Structure 1
Amino acid sequence: MSTNAISGTTGASNAAGTQSATAAANEASDRFLKLLVTQMQNQDPLNPMDNAQVTSQMAQISAVTGIDKLNNTVAGLGGSLAQMQMLQGASLVGRGVLLEGNKLAVNAETGAVGGGYELASAATKVQIDIVNSSGAVLGTVTQAGKPSGRQSFEWVPPEGTDTSNLTFKVTAMNNNTAVSATPLMTDLVNAINTTDGTLTLELLNGGNTAYSKVKAIA
């Protein structure tokens, strides 16, 4: 229901803006024609304007009017695109997304925590350190023989461990050479909004994040 309200308001705003811009363009065209007629009526009889001059000035006003119409069309398309983004984004509410970040997600069924990472190239050994809010390492997950691309991991915390605000750090090596590893986290979409025409997701743990930063949708 709120989406329809947003769409209706946006459509009315776009229509009002288009009408205003069209009226302004028509007014400018009328002023130009009146000035041109006045100029021709008061021109020097011994040195009148030639056809090329008149044609040139008429072409200028036609070009300006055409640009105004093009701008109005683009503005209308932009408004329609924003409405489509909102409608598509509404389907993401309540769903999980994968994006860059190092916060651990808790599996409500098993109690395990997990995350992911993306390797720039293959790694013979990957070490994932589980860190609490104080910076202490609570545990370590070691993986071997991982190819380039996205990987995942899970860690089962000891009983009684506070699993809130846990983060992780990834260190990857290919024999003795360091491999770049980007941490990936999962989060839940609570709501959506648009900021300056950009679709933004309001995440449970990650705050406001641009939709363009989402790498996958659960």
Structure 2
Amino acid sequence: MANTIDTSVLNSLNQTTGGSAGKASATGDLSNSFMTLLVTQLKNQNPMKPMENAEMTSQLAQINTVNGIQDLNKTLEGITSQVNAGQNLQAAALIGQGVLVPGNRVVKDGEATTPFGVELEGPADDVAITIANDSGEVVRSFSADDIGALEAGVQSFTWDGTLQDGSAAPDGRYRVSIAANQGDEPVSVTALNYAPVNGVVSTESGPRLDLGAIYGQVGLDAVRQIL
């Protein structure tokens, strides 16, 4: 009497190949291997104990599942390629432009100062902004009367480069601090600084914007506003 091929062998094969469907699809039609094994199992089954209909249906369903996974992997690969291509185009379009990204630096050079911004999680009726030098000394402050109420989201500002007494601030780098409240409740706020996009760097996780030696590299998701 011919030996029976135990169904656990097929189940084991399913588990082994299921995790590498992408590799199997690249080397050939995986479903043919499953079908060949199933036919071999039917030929060598114990005639006194043939395979039950439910068991055969289960094996066929596993074959269809493998085919479905292969098709799904191909579809996801295509979608991923399209998303990556779109991100690369978006990143390339930013070269030469200025963006607001999380950070608290302001640079003064002559009469020009770089813009800065705030990102509020909710509306705020009391916003205070202070600008300090590298030593931590506050050189200019803006109160709620100067700024007014702000809506949730991103707002951009420009410092005129003057000190509290109206005289011109020395050239150099400064840091911005922001506090926001709505009534008596604090509002979460993120300071944003300006940076020019010098180029795009391709990485496994997607394109990254090269913002120069001072600001480094950031992903597209770091861009809050294009100026």
Q: TM-score range by the shorter chain?
A: 0.7 to 0.9
Partner of 2:138: 137
Q: Are 2:175 and 1:167 aligned?
A: yes
TM-fit CA distance, 1:87 = 1.6
Change (3 A) 1:25 1:64: farther
Bigger fraction of residues in strand: 1
Alignment TM-score, normalising by the size of structure 2: 0.72
- How many residue pairs match? The answer is 197
> What RMSD over aligned residues (CA atoms) do the two structures have, in Å?
3.0
Which structure 1 residue ranges, 5 or more long, are not aligned?
1-17
Report which stretch shifted further, 56-65 or 168-177. 168-177
- Give the TM-score taking structure 1 as reference length: 0.74
**Residues 54-203 of structure 1 mapped to structure 2, 5 A cutoff:** 54-106=56-108, 110-119=111-120, 120-124=122-126, 126-144=127-145, 146-149=148-151, 150-157=155-162, 158-159=167-168, 161-163=170-172, 165-172=173-180, 180-203=188-211
CA distance in 1: counterparts of 2:169 and 2:124, whole angstroms: 36
One-letter identity of the residue aligned with 2:159 = E
* One-letter amino acid matched to 1:70: L
- Alpha carbons of 1:41 and 1:217: their partners in 2 closer, same or farther (altered >3 Å)? same
How many Å apart are 1:139 and its aligned residue?
A: 3.0
Bigger drift between 69-78 and 131-140 goes to 131-140
Identity of aligned residues (%): 33
Q: Deviations over 1:57-79 (max 9, x none)?
A: 12211211111121121112201
The answer on whether the counterparts of 1:43 and 1:49 sit within 8 Å (CA) in structure 2 is: yes
Answer with 129-138 or 150-159: which moved more: 150-159
Task: Say whether the 8 Å CA contact 1:105–1:187 is kept in structure 2.
Answer: no
Q: Which runs of 5 or more structure 2 residues have no equivalent in the other structure?
A: 1-20
